[in-house]
Amino acid sequence: MKEFVLISPERCKGIFDRVLKFSDADETEALIAGGAHQLTRFANNTIHQNVAEEGCVLSIRTVYGGRTARATTNKFDDASIRRVVEDSASVARQQQPNPDLLPMPGPQECAPVERFYPATAELTPEARAHGVREEVEIARRRGQTAAGIFSSGAAMQAILNSAGLFVYHQDTRSEFSVTMLGGNSSGWAKANSPDVRNINVEELALRASAKAALSAEPVELKPERYTVILEPAAVLDLVGFLFYDFSGLAIHDQRSFLTGRLGMQLFGENISIADDVYHPLQSGAPFDGEGMYRKTVPLVERGVVRNVVYSRQTAKLMQAEPTGHGFPLPNEFGEAPMNIVIAGGDASVDNMIAGTERGILVTRLWYIREVDPYEKVLTGMTRDGTFLIEDGQARRGILNFRFNQSMIEMLSKVEMLGPAERAAGEEAFEMVLPAMKVRDFNFTEVTKF
């Protein structure tokens, strides 16, 4: 990986020294980020695209008497650095003073996390093509058609300011997603990890292929309330709509479903949720957009909403302790937990199916939209592997359902939990969470496929 892309800590400090040379602001902050990303895309059992991109950015925030603004460049020569500092200063001086703006934080100390894996950073197009070939051969042997992506990359980020702050993090990322298509059915599987060696392409392909085979010739069922088994990807894309509400500013502005509900028993006693950047299955930097290190925060304990997260500014506004979950300033969102861990149980999906007399198995969901933000009612559709369970077995595929379901109600009716795992979906950021068996899940319509 080129040093230009993964800028070293020493070079970051050198860049910031040049920034300070051109700044006359009361306070100056620099966000430096760089990375490379490669993607192999395939469809109809053939690779049809391989792309790679790399780049770096320098984002400068200046402060003049409570006025602040940000400007960004992707050039690092002296003329460009001078220009971006001047642009930030020019815009900042035109702002109204913000009486709530805090001084920039000074040096921070916290244990680092190791999320950079050379095997991922050095993954070649040939290696990704080899992985694609494995799953295409499975599809061809079974008379199916495969489509999906295999991606990898590496990135770094650093925050420095004139108060002496310097934080630095680098990591890698890999992802494999496959959809297997039959004549009138489909199956899907996906995984991602900082370490590409954790992605078993063959296992994912076999899983998606088996789902496509079992869901062939789907039948129509009456839409009503069913016991439902949600695989981790389906759980993730549903509960992902909850966590931007676990924000002190969202509660202060009365736009969170938790407004007036802190300390209440909202969910079942088997639901415990934390924000924990240090969990071994998590990813990302251990610091937030201001350079504050993230604290581990218990959000829900045995169904009771205990805490939300706070940026520095929101914490002062609400007389609370900052938790290190803010976004880069200036912003209107405040903060959010981004490293969600939902405690799991010991029931496998197979155990859940075996203990279900009649129900629905859901692989994934899509086109999810919020209907009622206070009760967290969501609507969306099942996709790529929806099955009827009878007498402890997944018997056959069914036409997909549309659902209208409150997340508060759903998390109050969880009967079984699988082991927590790193899950990847399509509608939310990655989390560590379990599969769930839920009673009385509300399906409202049948789709035409």
According to the 3-state scheme, what is the secondary structure of 140-193?
A: HHCCCEEEEEEEEEEEEEEEEECCCCEEEEEEEEEEEEEEEECCCCEEEEEEEE
Task: Judge whether 303 and 271 are in contact, CB under 8 Å.
Answer: yes
Q: Domains in the chain, start-ordered, CATH in brackets? A: 9-198 (3.30.2290.10), 218-449 (no CATH)
pLDDT in tens, 130-188: 999 999 999 999 999 999 999 999 999 999 999 999 999 999 999 999 999 999 999 99
Neighbouring residues of 16: CB distance < 8 A, sequence distance ≥ 6: 30, 32, 160
CA atoms within 13 A on the CB side of 22: 21
Q: What is the pLDDT of residue 449?
A: 75
In whole numbers, what is the pLDDT of the chain averaged over residues? 96
First to last CA, the chain: 45
Q: What is the pLDDT of residue 448?
A: 78
Give the pTM: 0.95
Q: Which two tokens stand for residue 54?
A: 């790399």
Residue 242 carries which DSSP code? T
Residue 199 carries which DSSP code? -
- Tell me the C-alpha distance between 338 and 432, whole Å: 11
From its phi and psi, is residue 39 left (phi > 0), alpha (psi between -120 and 50) or beta?
beta
pLDDT in tens, 5-33: 799 999 999 999 999 999 999 999 999 99
Q: What is the mean pLDDT of residues 111-125?
A: 94
* β pairing state of 145-161 and 166-181: antiparallel
Q: What is the pLDDT of residue 317?
A: 95
Handedness of CA 115, 121, 126, 129 (dihedral sign): positive
Q: Which of 173, 230, 232, 176 is nearest to 204 (CA)?
A: 176
Residue 81, burial from CB neighbour count under 10 angstroms (0-12, 13-18, 19+):
buried
Percent of the chain with pLDDT over 70: 99
Name beta bridge partners: 225.
442
- Tell me the C-alpha distance between 51 and 258, whole Å: 43
pLDDT over 60 at 3, yes or no = no
